[in-house]
Amino acid sequence: MTTPSAIPLTIRKRNGRPKILPPDDSDLQNGRAQDPHVLRATARAWDWRRRLERGGAATLSDIAQAEQVTLPFVSRMMRLAYLSPDVLGELIIWRVPPALSLNDLVAVADRPWAEQMGMVFD
């Protein structure tokens, strides 16, 4: 008779109640988990881009004022909305963590699309 192996569970409080969370290996790639800051920053950049395209905001200054952040921050993070479709697919759909920090990822967005994939995931 074999003894069952232990399953690592996480207990977190949600609304004051404990919630047991099972291990989630689907978000782990190469021993690293996807950074939630990258996902949030990319989502914000796309939201800001849509606001500008649809006329919900006239300028980046309007967005900065509405979000209560600085104009340089909006300008820098807005570049994430212009990452290549391949990079966005890996980051958002497949949740592959980038090999770069968020600030470096913003800088890569200025590069040609053909170069971005190798720079972000190497």
Q: What is the pLDDT of residues 65-122, one digit of tens each?
A: 999 999 999 999 999 999 999 999 999 888 888 989 999 999 999 999 999 999 998 7
User: What is the mean pLDDT of the segment spanning 20-45?
Assistant: 70
pLDDT band at residue 24 under the 50/70/90 scheme:
low
**More confidently predicted of 75 and 14:** 75
Instruction: Give the CA count within 13 Å in the CB-facing half-sphere of 72.
Output: 1
Do strands 17-21 and 10-14 pair parallel, antiparallel, or not at all (unpaired)? antiparallel
User: What is the mean pLDDT of the segment spanning 7-28?
Assistant: 65
Q: Report the alpha-carbon distance of residue 36 to residue 33 in Å, rounded.
A: 9
Residues with Cβ within 8 Å of 50's Cβ and at least 6 positions away in sequence, in order, are: 56
pLDDT band at residue 27 under the 50/70/90 scheme:
very low
pLDDT band at residue 35 under the 50/70/90 scheme:
confident
The DSSP call for residue 34 is: P
User: What is the mean pLDDT of the segment spanning 30-51?
Assistant: 85
C-beta of residue 63 within 8 angstroms of C-beta of residue 51 = yes
User: What is the mean pLDDT of the segment spanning 21-40?
Assistant: 64
* Percent of the chain predicted with pLDDT > 90: 60
Q: Where are the domains of the chain?
A: 31-121
What does each C-alpha distance from 114 to 6, 65, 73, 119 come to in angstroms? 45, 34, 26, 10
45 pLDDT higher than 60 = yes
Residues with Cβ within 8 Å of 57's Cβ and at least 6 positions away in sequence, in order, are: 48, 51, 63, 66
